[in-house]
Structure 1
């Protein structure tokens, strides 16, 4: 039988403060050592005491249950947040389409179609993605190989574009595109299923890239504005 003294514990604590102490089989604490642990609020696990073993097992089960509850609660919050973000974005789709309706019926109708595609992604909050991929209308900067990827904006929207005949339309579309890009980044933190997240990202990139083409179209000209 080995007795652990207060001095032994002081030396250990001086080297590295600890919050729990595991008393191994064949070891006993002196009264002073036990008081040392009590004074510092150190949890003690005595393998020689059946009641202590049982108590430790109960604590472990309680910790596991709390961890599972926290994980479940976090998953529920993430699901609600994801759903709310998608509802807000869908409203922005419709609001933008409504604003475009007064100036460009073709753009408005095209955006309404994209809003339906985005709405089809709503099932991701239920752990699935039922939306089919969009068809790529290839141009010099975009094709079937990169259409589902994050390829960035074709060009930067500045105050110069604001003064163009289709400046308002370009700004409205750019705002929507930026919100979609932010949502795509947020979704990576809100969705635990990596495969589902990748599928959602691909569908979002297709919508974002289509909006980029719409902005290019509003810019005018027949050449793609994407910088090499």
Structure 2
């Protein structure tokens, strides 16, 4: 399976602008590439469906509807990714005058999350999030979906780091929702499983790192799981 990225389409468009694009057999376009076509109003067709004779009018109408659904799904996911990045920036801005060190850690997590778009476009990412082993989280389960160590309640608002705790928890909750979005996106994915595993794994790594930051904000160096 060959992936056509946004950069591939951009280079082709610079050489010779086009108004239609045919997805050739054995290829798949990435979400970024699909958005590139949509932004320029370029019609997209499947080579073995839209450019061949069809037996019925129903078949002629099915392909555009299907492609439109995929286009909307990809666009929604990209919008959710941008919203998540904005949440990270808002959290960082809120922390700058209270905890610069924690703000810097969130900036690093935001950059790691931004790398997910590169992975989905079939690009290699050199920077990897490093696992800091604790009582629960270690290198073996760092990329897995783990339960929260403890429930955040109104009690935690009263702590000295209450505002930081709520901010971190809000990011973690939003990322758990995003994980479901990615899982849904990859349900019809016909590309490499390694790409799917890398994306989901990165999301879980960020979530688990946030869980560790929440534990530290709630009780210092002591693990707060089941406390």
Q: TM-score, normalised by structure 1?
A: 0.69
Alpha-carbon displacement from aligned partner over 1:192-213 (angstroms, at most 9, x marks no partner): 3272333211100000000111
The SS at the match of 1:202 is helix
2-structure distance, mates of 1:128, 1:155: 36
Per-residue deviation, 1:74? 1.4
Kept in 2, the 8 Å contact 1:121–1:129? The answer is no
1-structure distance, mates of 2:102, 2:226: 23
Gaps spanning 5+ residues in structure 1: where?
1-57
Question: CA distance change for structure 1 residues 129 and 227 in 2, over 3 Å: closer, same or farther?
Answer: farther
Per-residue deviation, 1:190? 2.5
Q: Which residue number in structure 1 is paired with residue 103 of structure 2?
A: 108
Aligned residues: 171
Greater relative CO (CA pairs within 8 A, separation 6+): 2
2-structure distance, mates of 1:101, 1:111: 11
Q: Which residue number in structure 2 is paired with residue 85 of structure 1?
A: 80
The answer to whether residue 208 in structure 2 is matched with residue 218 in structure 1 is: no
Q: Which residue number in structure 2 is paired with residue 149 of structure 1?
A: 144
Question: CA distance change for structure 1 residues 85 and 124 in 2, over 3 Å: closer, same or farther?
Answer: farther
The answer to whether residue 98 in structure 2 is matched with residue 99 in structure 1 is: no
Q: Which residue number in structure 2 is paired with residue 120 of structure 1?
A: 115
Q: Which residue number in structure 2 is paired with residue 67 of structure 1?
A: 62
Higher mean C-alpha deviation, range 89-98 or range 183-192: 183-192
Greater than 4 Å deviation, 4+ residue runs: none
1-structure distance, mates of 2:59, 2:124: 32
Kept in 1, the 8 Å contact 2:91–2:167? The answer is yes
2:189 to 186, 193, 211: 193
Per-residue deviation, 1:132? 4.8
Kept in 1, the 8 Å contact 2:144–2:205? The answer is yes
Structure (1/2) with the larger helix percentage: 1
Per-residue deviation, 1:78? 1.2
The answer to whether residue 157 in structure 2 is matched with residue 162 in structure 1 is: yes
1-structure distance, mates of 2:75, 2:176: 19
Question: CA distance change for structure 1 residues 129 and 91 in 2, over 3 Å: closer, same or farther?
Answer: farther
Kept in 1, the 8 Å contact 2:54–2:60? The answer is no
Q: TM-score, normalised by structure 2?
A: 0.69
Question: CA distance change for structure 1 residues 201 and 132 in 2, over 3 Å: closer, same or farther?
Answer: farther
Gaps spanning 5+ residues in structure 2: where?
1-52
2-structure distance, mates of 1:129, 1:80: 22
Question: CA distance change for structure 1 residues 132 and 62 in 2, over 3 Å: closer, same or farther?
Answer: farther
Per-residue deviation, 1:121? 1.1
Per-residue deviation, 1:89? 0.4
Question: CA distance change for structure 1 residues 143 and 125 in 2, over 3 Å: closer, same or farther?
Answer: closer
Whichever of the two has the greater Rg, that structure is 1
The SS at the match of 2:55 is helix
1-structure distance, mates of 2:78, 2:206: 18
